[in-house]
């Protein structure tokens, strides 16, 4: 019979020699254990690389979020500056409005003026040129809230309830109408190239009719509610002009 050979398991030897003494140690490591150690090392490296990648990715996301936050803070600062600028403009407009009101109050006759003085002034205006639209378009305590400009070709006047809108000069009621903005529009033809238009933003009681002749100072409309806005136009030879220039010239 043939002698059966025993298969020897392959292994690795590790020899440790001390550099101080003469002692040494030898360790035998099986091939399976070496493979396991290499596999564990590979797994460890893969995990380590994954962790590093995640850390770098998170850092990039964090930096991106910081950049977005900085941009939003900058936008917020710009909005705050715009708000402050709008507040300043609002205060400036309020100051200009107050100044206009004071100028108008100084230009209008005092409320306590006697009836004889009013009649004398009206008579003088009529004798000079009663058809010239020289009168302020309302009587009582109307406050001008906006002046004439190219963008707004009229003056705006705030009138309280029971306020009277009057004819600025002698003329004829050429038109009475309305549109989407103005519930009541009255236009006068003064026969001398001048026309005046009274555009009321709230309903009012009309005191005249289309085609009726009117005299300077005659009541055209009576307001029904407070803060009724009257937009007043003066038209000369087909072109809209600044009503204050006419009022200043003759009124």
The 10s digit of each residue's pLDDT in 98-129 is 888 777 777 766 555 545 555 556 545 544 67
Residue 102: the pLDDT is 79
pTM: 0.50
Q: What is the dihedral of CA 52, 55, 56, 60, to 10 degrees?
A: 170
- Give the angle 196-198-204 at the CA atoms, nearest 5°: 150
Distance CA 214, CA 188 (A): 9
Mean pLDDT of 61-78: 84
- Model confidence at 11: pLDDT above 60: yes
Average pLDDT for the chain: 82
H-helix segments, the chain: 31-107, 115-128, 243-250
Q: How far apart are CA 186 and CA 174, in angstroms?
A: 8
What ranges do the domains of the chain cover? Answer: 9-107, 132-250
Nearest alpha carbon to residue 29 among 3, 10, 4, 7: 10
* Span 132-250 CATH architecture: Distorted Sandwich (2.70)
Q: What is the mean pLDDT of residues 157-171?
A: 93
Predicted pLDDT of residue 24: 67
Q: Residue 43's CB: how many other CB atoms inside 10 A?
A: 10
- Spatial separation of the C-alpha atoms in residues 156 and 152, rounded to whole Å: 9
Helical spans, DSSP H, in 175-239: none
pLDDT, residue 14, reads 65
The pLDDT score that the predictor gives to residue 250 is: 45
Task: Assign 29 a pLDDT band (cuts: 50, 70, 90).
Answer: low
């Amino acid at each position: 019979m043939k002698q059966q050979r025993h298969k020897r398991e392959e292994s690795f030897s590790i020899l440790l020699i001390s550099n101080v003494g003469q002692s040494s140690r030898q360790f035998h490591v099986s091939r399976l254990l070496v493979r396991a150690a290499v596999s564990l090392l590979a797994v460890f490296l893969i995990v380590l690389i994954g962790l590093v990648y995640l850390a770098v990715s998170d850092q990039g996301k964090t930096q991106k979020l910081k950049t977005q936050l900085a941009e939003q803070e900058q936008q917020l600062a710009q909005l705050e500056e715009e708000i402050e600028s709008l507040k300043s403009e609002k205060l400036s407009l309020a100051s200009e409005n107050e100044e206009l009101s004071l100028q108008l109050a100084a230009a209008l006759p005092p409320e306590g003026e006697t009836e004889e003085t009013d009649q004398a002034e009206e008579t003088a205006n009529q004798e000079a040129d009663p058809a010239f639209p020289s009168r302020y378009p309302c009587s009582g305590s109307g406050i001008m809230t906006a002046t004439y400009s190219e963008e707004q070709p009229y003056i705006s006047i705030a009138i309280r309830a029971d306020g009277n809108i009057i004819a600025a000069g002698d003329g004829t009621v050429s038109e009475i109408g309305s549109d989407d903005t103005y519930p009541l529009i009255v236009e006068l033809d003064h026969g001398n190239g001048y026309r005046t238009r009274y555009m009321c933003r709230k309903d009012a009681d009309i005191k005249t009719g289309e085609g009726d002749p009117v005299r300077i100072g005659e009541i055209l409309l009576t307001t029904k509610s407070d803060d009724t806005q009257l937009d007043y136009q003066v038209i000369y030879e087909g072109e809209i002009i600044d009503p204050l220039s006419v009022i200043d010239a003759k009124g």
